[in-house]
């Protein structure tokens, strides 16, 4: 359920993001990039490398207001 909520936020964020952030990410009203990145790194650290971790990281970043271009 948590992953579903993060994916919904990612979708909504993709529609709303305007500001350009660090490393090509963009967001509007987002948590500071370094803070969001550190939190999402910590939350996804235990996942196996690959698509699952990347998707979880992106969903976490979306929860902080960031999306990839």
pLDDT 10s digit of each residue in the chain, 69 long?
666 555 555 454 544 444 444 568 999 889 999 999 999 999 999 999 999 999 999 999 999 999 988
Domain count, the chain: 1
What is the domain extent for residue 49?
2-67
Written in H, E and C, the secondary structure of the chain is CHHHHHHHHHHHHHHHCCEECHHHCEECCCCCHHHHHHHHHHHHCCCCCCHHHHHHHHHHHHHCCEECC
pLDDT score of 18: 42
Q: What is the pLDDT of residue 15?
A: 40
pTM of the model: 0.66
Residue 69: predicted pLDDT:
81
pLDDT attached to residue 5: 56
Give the separation between CA 26 and CA 43, rounded to whole angstroms. Answer: 20
Q: Strand 66-67's sheet: what is its strand order?
A: 19-20, 26-27, 66-67
């Amino acid at each position: 359920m948590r992953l579903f909520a993060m994916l919904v936020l990612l979708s909504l964020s993709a529609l709303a993001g305007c500001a350009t952030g660090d490393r090509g990410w963009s967001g509007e009203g987002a948590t500071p990039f370094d803070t969001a990145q550190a939190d999402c790194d910590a939350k996804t650290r235990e996942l196996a490398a690959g698509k699952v971790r990347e998707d979880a990281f992106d969903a976490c970043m979306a929860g902080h207001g960031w999306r990839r271009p």
